[in-house]
Amino acid sequence: MNIGIIGLGSMGKMLAEKFAHGSDNVTNKLLVSTRSKEKLTLMPENVGVCDNNRELAEHSDIVFLCLRPVDMRGVLEEITPCLKNDSLVVSLNGSISFAQLEKLSDRSFAKVIPSVTAEIDRSQTLVCYNNKVTDEYKAALESLLSVIGDVVILPESEMGMGSELVSCMPGFISAVFDVICSSAGKHTGISHEQVVQMVLKTLSATSSLMLEKGMSFNEVVGRVATKGGITEEGTGVIYDSFPKTADELFDKTLEKRRITAEKAEKMFG
Ligand SMILES: NC(=O)c1ccc[n+]([C@@H]2O[C@H](COP(=O)([O-])OP(=O)(O)OC[C@H]3O[C@@H](n4cnc5c(N)ncnc54)[C@H](OP(=O)(O)O)[C@@H]3O)[C@@H](O)[C@H]2O)c1
């Protein structure tokens, strides 16, 4: 299949570079087009550069729209007459609904949300489909996205919470451990850099331990926090105080997501 990417900003450039260097068995040709033409010169040699979005749409079977909501409507209107009959259009924007997209273009749509961990090919990329996408196209898209990590299929209604768990989570994890490392720094002469290294490697090893051994959070806590011991003092503080913070975090982010979706739909028109 020919894969087209419209918009070479943060997401489009990352996907173009990953697809260009990755080995999937889907891509015949990789094509790109974007607004600021100087960005086209930065593409790897095996990427086909199109003069405009319509040319890309004519020659692509899967078209990625790596655009902000404000630009999405114009580009979708521009390319719709040129799209192949059975091509799949993939929106990278989580806030514009299939219902909105379908008002402009009555065709197969997917929404795709990669995580920043795609940089090291360990994204858990969220995908949802409207009801027009065939199994052949689903398999092709999922195989293509496996170049950047795992693919997680969700219903459209769960993409918001899904995004909190995989797309926002690297930020939440970083913020939590930033606070922990700063607090540790107040009680130790170990340098901040070394504290961060020690915590990050322990964090990574704890994830691997749980994933490889199938351990739950409670099992890990139980292994480390012996009754009346030092770790139990610390885990007690976390279980007493942190649930309120975690509840507030999701209340706030999900509300912000709702407001952002309203704004995006207005921008989209
Ligand atoms: N960034 C993230 O971490 C992330 C994660 C998941 C999903 N998303 C979603 O992915 C989408 C893209 O985000 P982004 O961060 O990549 O945005 P971005 O960096 O602003 O990139 C958007 C690109 O679209 C290009 N563009 C605008 N109008 C165009 C047109 N008419 N024809 C062709 N190209 C056009 C822009 O060109 P110029 O260079 O000329 O401005 C820019 O290169 C957004 O909807 C966002 O919500 C982002």
Angle, to 10 degrees, between the axis of helix 192-213 and the axis of helix 217-224? 120
CB 91 within 8 A of CB 110: yes
Please indicate whether residue 93, judged by its CB atom, sits closer than 6 Å to ligand 1. Answer: yes
Q: pLDDT tens digit string along 121-164?
A: 999 999 999 999 999 999 999 999 999 999 999 999 999 999 99
Cα 116 from chain centroid (whole Å): 7
Nearest CA to ligand 1 atom 30: 35
Does residue 188 share a domain with residue 127?
no
Q: State phi, psi for 36 to the nearest 5 degrees.
A: -85, 105
Please indicate whether residue 35, judged by its CB atom, sits closer than 6 Å to ligand 1. Answer: yes
Nearest CA to ligand 1 atom 43: 9
Does residue 6 share a domain with residue 139?
yes
Domain harbouring 95, CATH code: 3.40.50.720
Q: pLDDT tens digit string along 3-12?
A: 999 999 999 9
Does residue 169 share a domain with residue 103?
no
Does residue 199 share a domain with residue 125?
no
Please indicate whether residue 127, judged by its CB atom, sits closer than 6 Å to ligand 1. Answer: no
Residue 69: partners with Cβ closer than 8 Å, 6 or more residues away: 93, 95, 96, 263, 264, 267, 268
Domain region containing 63: 2-153
C-alpha to C-alpha distances, 112 to 20, 21, 92, 205, nearest whole angstrom: 18, 20, 5, 29
Q: Kindly report each contact of residues 103-107 with a partner whose C-beta sits within 8 Å and lies 24 or more positions away, as own/partner.
A: 104/73, 104/76, 104/77, 104/80, 105/76, 105/80, 107/80, 107/83, 107/132
Please indicate whether residue 38, judged by its CB atom, sits closer than 6 Å to ligand 1. Answer: no
Q: pLDDT tens digit string along 168-183?
A: 999 999 999 999 999 9
Please indicate whether residue 67, judged by its CB atom, sits closer than 6 Å to ligand 1. Answer: yes
